[in-house]
Amino acid sequence: MGERGNCQVDDLTALENVFNEISNEPWFDSAFRYAFSQYLVESFASRGYDANLHRDSIEEVARTRYKLQSPNTGRLQGRIQL
């Protein structure tokens, strides 16, 4: 099986699939697609991605960091971690 760096091609395909699934959810703020893709690559490309182990935690991170905010709260509320 071919490799790209330390990451298997199958892992990259799986990461692309989870990226597409989550970033197309109605709650996902499309302004953060690039930041979300960076998170996925930085977090999983070097150690591999396993859908059975990581899918739920990735969605939780996406809902916390990259979801649409209601118009009354503003875009940045809840995105800053202290």
pLDDT digits (tens, 9 = 90+) for 15-27: 899 999 999 999 9
CB 29 within 8 A of CB 68: yes
Q: Tell me, what DSSP letter sits at residue 26?
A: T
Residue-wise pLDDT tens digits, 37-82: 999 988 887 777 787 788 999 999 999 999 998 765 445 444 444 3
Contact (CB, 8 A) for 40 and 14: no
How far CA 23 is from CA of 17, 40, 70, in Å, comes to: 10, 12, 18
* pTM confidence score: 0.71
